[in-house]
Amino acid sequence: MTTGEASMSQISAKDVMALRNRTGLPMMACKKALTEAGGDADKAEGLLRKELGKKMETKVDRAAGEGRIEVATTGDGSAATIVELKAETDFTAKNEKFIGATKKLAQLALRASGEGEISPTDEMKAIVDDLRISTGENISLGRAHKVNGEAGKTAFGSYIHHDGKTGVLIHAEGSISDETLRQICMHIAAAVPRPVGVTADDIPADVVEKERNFRIEQAKESGKPQEIAEKIVEGGMKKFFSEIALLEQPFVMDTAKPIKEVLGKDASVVGFYRWEVGQTA
């Protein structure tokens, strides 16, 4: 036994259990680390992290197809974030520690400067590393995005589906209740087809062009006169926009109302984010 080490028999079960609770690692690994650290719990935790961190480097290429989405907002409407934390198994993604870590990451992302895509801070990386070590899985921060608003003017709403795999963040302005924003978020999560933009003008040009070309070809194949064919195409495009532009969609909770009526005249939607775990586009 080298200087500074304690024998296995000198390490109490209470100390081992305390270290296990802190790290989530097996009892024998904790006992071994405490022995090497001479009973110093902080030093033992450092040894465990160093050793297991090396092992985790061999697992970063493993597929992480499970995970959770989380949203955080400031109380004054000045900022909001949406994050995706990825895991290898659904079991881990449903773990309370994993859920808590996802919430913490969303809160930490609020502190980031600027807006748009957020690069993980050292504190955020430490949370991910801790999960990787305690679970033995390839945990990673898939995405993190921040939206800035104006205190007192901006309103943010959110909805996380019960399984945590789908999350929505909406950015609005004007007079609108938190409950209405939440209901619109629920609509965005559930609507089929999914909304692509707030209005027809927000739908990406390539999506519009592809749909228009498809309808033009259909009209040509029908043999209709040019004037009639053009009217058919324009009518079809209006229907297309009503199906995928958020404000034109029928509200899933009351299909007699379009979303723009649910929103009301005194509010407007600036943008929204609908994320699913593993989503690539």
**C-beta of residue 77 within 8 angstroms of C-beta of residue 154:** yes
As a whole number of angstroms, the distance between CA 14 and CA 26 comes to: 14
Q: Is the pLDDT of residue 129 over 90?
A: no
List, for residues 79-115, the tens digit of each pLDDT value.
999 999 999 999 999 999 999 999 999 999 999 988 9
User: Do residues 49 and 92 both lie within one domain?
Assistant: no
Count CB neighbours of 133 within 10 A: 21
User: Do residues 142 and 256 both lie within one domain?
Assistant: yes
User: Do residues 97 and 213 both lie within one domain?
Assistant: no
pLDDT for 8 equals 54
Q: How many residues does the chain have?
A: 281
Q: Of 143, 160, 170, 147, nearest to 278 (Cα)?
A: 143
Q: Of 83, 106, 102, 104, nearest to 93 (Cα)?
A: 102
User: Do residues 146 and 232 both lie within one domain?
Assistant: no
Count CB neighbours of 253 within 10 A: 12
User: Do residues 115 and 215 both lie within one domain?
Assistant: no
User: Do residues 188 and 55 both lie within one domain?
Assistant: no
3 inside domain: no
User: Do residues 76 and 182 both lie within one domain?
Assistant: yes
Domain count, the chain: 3
Q: How confident is the model at residue 117 (pLDDT cuts 50, 70, 90)?
A: very high
Torsion over CA of 119, 122, 123 and 129, rounded to 10 degrees? 100
Q: What is the mean pLDDT of residues 221-233?
A: 79
User: Do residues 39 and 161 both lie within one domain?
Assistant: no
List, for residues 25-78, the tens digit of each pLDDT value.
778 888 888 888 888 888 888 887 777 665 555 554 555 689 999 999 998 899
User: Do residues 100 and 41 both lie within one domain?
Assistant: no
Q: What is the mean pLDDT of residues 6-18?
A: 76
CATH code of 219's domain: 1.10.286
Domain of residue 268 covers 66-201+245-276
Number of H helices, E strands in the chain: 10, 9
CATH code of 26's domain: 1.10.8.10
User: Do residues 162 and 46 both lie within one domain?
Assistant: no
User: Do residues 174 and 75 both lie within one domain?
Assistant: yes
Count CB neighbours of 65 within 10 A: 13
Please tell me the pTM assigned to this model. Answer: 0.76
As a whole number of angstroms, the distance between CA 155 and CA 44 comes to: 47
Q: How confident is the model at residue 1 (pLDDT cuts 50, 70, 90)?
A: very low
